[in-house]
Structure 1
Amino acid sequence: MALLQTSLIWIVYAIVIAILLAVASVFIYVYQTPRDRSPSVTLTCIFAITCLLATVLLLPVDVALVSSTTSSKLGRRKEWATQDAVDKITYSLTVVYYFLYSLDALLCLLVIPFTYFWYEEYDEVAVEAGEQTLGQRFWGAFKYTLSFVAIVVILFLVGFFVPVSNEKRGMDLDYFKRLLTENHGERALTFALGLLTTLGLCLYVLYTSSGLALFPIGLIKTAPSISSPTLRANTAHQLETNQERQRQLEGRCGGNPDLLSSKDRRELDTLTREERTLIRRQRLVEEAQGEGQGWLMRAWYKVGAIFRPFKLLGGILLLLLAFVTWVSMLLTAIDKATNSICKHRCGYILGHVNVFNPVNWALVQSAKVFPVDYAIFTVLVLLLFCSSVAGIAAVGIRFLWIRIFQIRKGHTSPQALLLATAMLMLMILALNYSVSMLVAPQYATFGPQTFCDRATTSPLDQPDCSDSRELIKPCSELADNPAAQQVCTPSVVSTFLNRVTLNYPFFGVVFFWAQFFFLGIYLVIFVASLFRSPRLDERQLDEDAEEAEEEGLLANTGRRFNATWQDITGRVGRDSEDGRAPE
């Protein structure tokens, strides 16, 4: 029975990995420019994003496996869950975590930089002339990557020798004693993870908080009242009328505008400006229909049109989920600030959840019926991931106030895609800490595990609470009952993250206070977006297009469904065949 349950948990994880691979592939294909694709860039970005999301989404598997050793109704371990069996489970999870974290670090610090320089080294003219070989290109990329190799070596050497915290006050419990690292190899990986997470938090605070406020509102405001085929027909008709009127005016003056009257010159200037606006609008409509971008992009836009009527409802639901997540983070942050057992000396580790947290409660309750909690957790992680993407698209890749690259659907260069992937990898590491330690701390540490808080004659005996459910209590780090220490098994990821903050309290302090900046930026942008939604890209839409987009917010449902149907079929309505918009 135990083997079957464990196998089913890992099978669910494998299915999730396959879904993540599809999500990463669609994301990369949708955002990269179709005119300048590179197989090495595409594969690297897809693999990197899949690995990072797989690392975060291993947490429900971790919780499910350690929770499978206990009976939450009886508050005791199951008969098969001997200490050796539990140790085997935690060891296998530790190996998987160390492998994924090491792979994530190598991808972010070595593979992505090498792929960036490998793409930059390509010279089409030199290759055609036979002046550049693969070896020369490889060496050119490798010599630029050597600086990143040096960074990795220095990072692990510092982590190998840097002393850990010697603070012992408030750490008299066995749980915290076990977190103090003595193994130098493990210490190096812990330090590297803490440093990368700190860098990721800087990006996470800026981009993910912005995207979390903008992404749901962006979904709510993307249901236009007029379809793309109809808008294209109207634009073509208006452009033809405009150009015909210009030809009449130019024919009247023989090609010399100075011969026109002041009234006609003003009209000609107005027509010229309007022509540029109409041409720009026509190009944007063609992009919205996926023209010239391959069959997958056209299929993507068709699918988007099919699900457009549900975007309003989905946006509202995601807006509520984002707000509940924000409230959960705020409550846990206040709980940590107030009830942390040793405050800044141990990185604000919270020994016991003292404040009700809605997301944490929902995950703990659903964890009793796996994989319900996995579905909820996956939705939460994908929301934060999509918010990170939306934040990068809104803010752009910048150095201080200077925009370096722009992230747009179908217009992202390979260099920008690689930099965005590296940023997302760092942000997902920060997301891993935020979700585990603030959004759902009890779930991420012990899940639904409970213990029987009843004294026994021998520490080796498991107490029996079958006659009194009131004595069954949730596991926590501060549970000093010998029965709790015998029954409760913390998840591997919580042990690893708490080890980072306890051994290097500086990281824990940065992690903790960064969450308040995250909460503040989200609140400011959310309130601002209620009055005016910022654009999620920098395309210079004309005023008419902006007004049409805002008009879509007030349009009735019938017009929205008509626009959706025309976008799916690619044909305009009967009322628009003469170039006029349907009433």
Structure 2
Amino acid sequence: VDNLKGEVCGAPCGYLLVHPDLPNPLNLLFLKLSPYFPVDYILMVMIVLYMFWATTKGIISIGIRFLWVNLYKFRRAATAPQGLLAATMLLMLSLAGLCYSLTMAVAPDYSMFGSQKYCNHTIALTNERDCHDYPTLIVPCHIGAPSDLCTPTVTSGYILGIILATPVLGIAFYYLQWLFLLAFLFALIWNLVRGFIKGFGVDPFEESAEDIDDLETRGLLSAIGAMSADSGRRRVGKERSVDPRRWLFLWLDRDQWAKVICRQ
């Protein structure tokens, strides 16, 4: 909502928010904790790990799908290699989306400028900034702050450059946020109703009838392979073992062996 009334040029700029009016709790929390290093870093790492864990949990729960077509499922000791490769690619793409979300949505001011502040008071006669008598006008840097006083991070600079060069990405991200909120509310209501009817705590690794047949087939094949390997090891062991009677025969016939060695 804040992007609609706080933006500069709307869709042509990718809905960049310059002067936010609505408070962002996480952004304010990071700005308050920024002087107390490394508390802000620890909190950022916790948020990143939580988002990464949630993404991984979602991929494991629903599997690899294309729309409603289920391509690969994740099962204990029975996941297809193609499914693992596809999940790895999705996690790598999610890291790119996570970087964009942290910079533009979760904590934009902190991600762009950290703990930087600037004086927002200018003397009319000298056109110089002086906040000696106005300490409340020393405010944190934001995207609309003067570029000569606030230096953005390298990551935010790349992201802002991409959005300004291709505004369609910012527009898509903005409307996908609304779509995500609607899907989240729908999924929340659906799972609550379904949970009250069928019960909560469903294991995502719970096997269906098809999965059980596949696991039984895999179990039989592995059992046959194990039996073959065990019989092969026993056969090799028998071939390598030496009968004690043979050793006795060789000891008794040592004179014959000595003659053979002398001839050679």
What is the TM-score normalised by the length of structure 1? 0.33
Q: Deviations over 1:299-353 (max 9, x none)?
A: xxxxxxxxxxxxxxxxxxxxxxxxxxxxxxxxxxx21122211111111111122
Q: Which residue of 2 aligns with 1:471?
A: 137
Q: Which residue of 1 aligns with 2:75?
A: 408
Q: CA RMSD in A?
A: 2.3
Q: Which amino acid aligns with 2:139?
A: K
C-alpha distance in 2 between matches for 1:375 and 1:417:
30
Of the three residues 170, 178, 192, the one matched with 1:530 is 192
C-alpha distance in 2 between matches for 1:477 and 1:458:
25
Give the match's secondary structure for 1:350. coil
Give the match's secondary structure for 1:486. coil
Map 1:216-235 onto structure 2 (within 5 A).
none
CA contact (8 A) 2:63 2:72 kept: yes
Q: Which residue of 1 aligns with 2:101?
A: 434
Q: Report how far residue 412 of structure 1 moved.
A: 2.6
Give the match's secondary structure for 1:489. coil
CA contact (8 A) 1:353 1:441 kept: no
Q: Which residue of 1 aligns with 2:62?
A: 395
Is 1:362 the counterpart of 2:24? The answer is no
Give the match's secondary structure for 1:429. helix
Q: Which residue of 2 aligns with 1:417?
A: 84
Identity %: 35
Q: Report how far residue 523 of structure 1 moved.
A: 1.9
Structure 1 unaligned blocks of 5 or more: 1-333, 543-583
Of the three residues 440, 446, 454, the one matched with 2:121 is 454
Of the three residues 157, 163, 176, the one matched with 1:501 is 163
Q: Which amino acid aligns with 2:169?
A: F
Aligned pair in 2 of structure 1 residues 409, 378: CA closer, same or farther (>3 Å)? Answer: farther
C-alpha distance in 2 between matches for 1:364 and 1:470:
15
Of the three residues 164, 171, 175, the one matched with 1:513 is 175
Structure 2 unaligned blocks of 5 or more: 210-264
C-alpha distance in 2 between matches for 1:359 and 1:347:
22
Q: Deviations over 1:142-188 (max 9, x none)?
A: xxxxxxxxxxxxxxxxxxxxxxxxxxxxxxxxxxxxxxxxxxxxxxx
C-alpha distance in 1 between matches for 2:188 and 2:180:
12
Map 1:121-136 onto structure 2 (within 5 A).
none
Q: Report how far residue 467 of structure 1 moved.
A: 3.7
Is 1:489 the counterpart of 2:151? The answer is yes
CA contact (8 A) 2:26 2:106 kept: yes
Of the three residues 302, 327, 338, the one matched with 2:5 is 338
Q: Report how far residue 379 of structure 1 moved.
A: 0.9
Q: Which amino acid aligns with 2:157?
A: T
What is the TM-score normalised by the length of structure 2? 0.69
Query: Which structure has the larger Rg over C-alpha atoms?
Result: 2
Give the match's secondary structure for 1:530. helix
C-alpha distance in 1 between matches for 2:44 and 2:192:
27
C-alpha distance in 1 between matches for 2:108 and 2:203:
32
- Between 1:529-538 and 1:385-394, the stretch displaced more is 529-538
C-alpha distance in 2 between matches for 1:350 and 1:370:
27
Of the three residues 18, 22, 27, the one matched with 1:351 is 18
Q: Which amino acid aligns with 2:59?
A: I
Give the match's secondary structure for 1:398. strand
Q: Deviations over 1:68-101 (max 9, x none)?
A: xxxxxxxxxxxxxxxxxxxxxxxxxxxxxxxxxx
C-alpha distance in 2 between matches for 1:493 and 1:540:
43
Is 1:375 the counterpart of 2:42? The answer is yes
Q: Report how far residue 490 of structure 1 moved.
A: 1.4
Q: Which amino acid aligns with 1:377?
A: M
Aligned pair in 2 of structure 1 residues 512, 405: CA closer, same or farther (>3 Å)? Answer: same
CA contact (8 A) 1:394 1:535 kept: no
Q: Report how far residue 432 of structure 1 moved.
A: 1.4
C-alpha distance in 2 between matches for 1:381 and 1:419:
21
C-alpha distance in 2 between matches for 1:385 and 1:444:
18
Q: Which residue of 1 aligns with 2:234?
A: none
Q: Whose RCO is larger (CA < 8 A, sep 6+)? A: 1
